[in-house]
Amino acid sequence: MKARSLLVLAVLLVTALAFSLNIIYLVGDGMSFNQLLLASILEGRVLTTMTLPYTGITTTYSADSWVTDSAPAGSALFGGYKTLNRAIGVLPNGTPMPSMFEIAKRAGYNIGLAVTCRVTHATPAAMYGHVPSRDDEVTLAKQLADSGVVDVIFGGGWDMFVPTAQGGRRTDGLSLIEQMRKNGYEYITTIEQLKAVQSSKVVGLFAKGHLDPVSNRPAAQPTLDVMTQKALEILSKEGKPFMLMVEGSQIDWEAHANDFYGVWKETVEFDNAVRVALEFAAKDGNTLVVVLGDHETGGLSLSKGGYTINVELARKAKGTTAMFLAQYSISDKAKFIAGLREWYGISITDAEYEMMTKIPSNNLRRELARFVSEKVGFGWTTFDHTAAPVPVYAFGPGAHLFTGLMDNTDVPKILLRLTGLSTITFPVAAVSRN
């Protein structure tokens, strides 16, 4: 009788898991409405992201500022609570809190991440990490290796996992790659290995640091849609429910640089990953896709006045200003001016050139990017984040719940409720915003 009861319980557990909702959670770092619309305008088409049937708006403030950074934004999106700028996976008082991915892992889910930054960077780290400062990536790497929360790990940043003697950043002598291998992970570093890998636990680190920007990424590094496709293949093959987090990490960095071309191309790469997710979800029928930004970066405006944007000129741009400055020196006036005309179709006056020569070299890229943007009609208010709300789009079972105005902390609460995993009381942090 006891054996029969145990068998019934096992069957019920397997059945419950088989019908549990899969979640594909795609985060465009620094992406709000205008970043999406800029890419849509320059592509001359409606982006896949913009076709999802349900749309909402989320606020993004942190516990100590109206303007969040990615660490508390990730903690809010994955944990359902507010925390301090720069903090990951902890309350303002330092108390660690579980993310929805940690909760799901304990319930039997497979978990994956695919990003174009280091896998220990703020957003992916909020899936598994608990530190008062996002800068402590060496600790975050150890937390990722020790926890076993994430089964499929695709991105960059192998330097955080190996000791300095092997070219890494670890001063404790640990080789976390070897530790993860012993714990059953397959370690891969090339796109050929990515295409071939079949292991259910895999860590793929395709660069020492972040992956290169998509505008000039070498063929040896995968694009986000390729990593997303492989992650879905691996996570779904056993028939267990899964959660996958995909981040368009570098939309944010190009917006920090006020580079319209970079934002365009990074947003399109992210949108390609959304397309892969939607195709999977449409075929599967039991997968919810949620797409959103974690905050807005740059204060992007889609005109500098005059009721116009020079779209055709913008479309002819040949690359980011980082790529431009790798080929043209500000010290060679004639070639610099000719280069601007060739790459962006814009002219520069003697006075504007002289102003450029006085800019410190570490700020030249972003100041040039803002200058180029304004010439074609795009404006920026800051090189930092803003408090602007961001969109949330949804497709699949429960997608209708992601409409109207909500806070970023509401998103994981809805997801946990839909998956039946909501067994915790969400903390309400004391908020003191500047």
Model pLDDT, residue 382: 98
| Contact indicator for 258, 35 with CB cutoff of 8 Å | no
Least confident of 3-7, 74-78, 372-376: 3-7
Confidence class of residue 422 from pLDDT cuts 50, 70 and 90?
Answer: confident
Is position 199 annotated as part of the catalytic site?
A: no
Q: What is the bridge-based pairing of β-strands 202-205 and 404-407?
A: unpaired
423 or 68: which leads in pLDDT? 68
Any residues with CB less than 8 A from the CB of 255 and at least 6 apart, and which? 30, 35, 263, 296, 297, 298, 300
Structure tokens belonging to residue 340: 């601007």
Instruction: Enter the pTM of the model.
Output: 0.94
Q: What is the pLDDT of residues 32-87, one digit of tens each?
A: 999 999 999 999 999 999 999 999 999 999 999 999 999 999 999 999 999 999 99
Q: What is the pLDDT of residues 150-206, one digit of tens each?
A: 999 999 999 999 999 999 999 999 999 999 999 999 999 999 999 999 999 999 999
The span from the CA of 347 to the CA of 341, in Å, is 6
| Contact indicator for 305, 330 with CB cutoff of 8 Å | no
Q: Which one from 70, 75, 99, 373 is the annotated catalytic residue?
A: 70
Task: Give the torsion through C-alpha atoms of 65, 67, 68, 70, to 10 deg.
Answer: -150
- DSSP string for residues in 48-114: GGGG-SEEEEEE---SS-SS--HHHHHHHHHHSS---TT-BSB-TTS-B---HHHHHHHTT-EEEEE
**Residue located via tokens 């930004």:** 293
Model pLDDT, residue 428: 72
Within a 10 A sphere around the Cβ of 349, how many other Cβ atoms?
9
The span from the CA of 396 to the CA of 284, in Å, is 10
| pLDDT above 70: residue 412 | yes
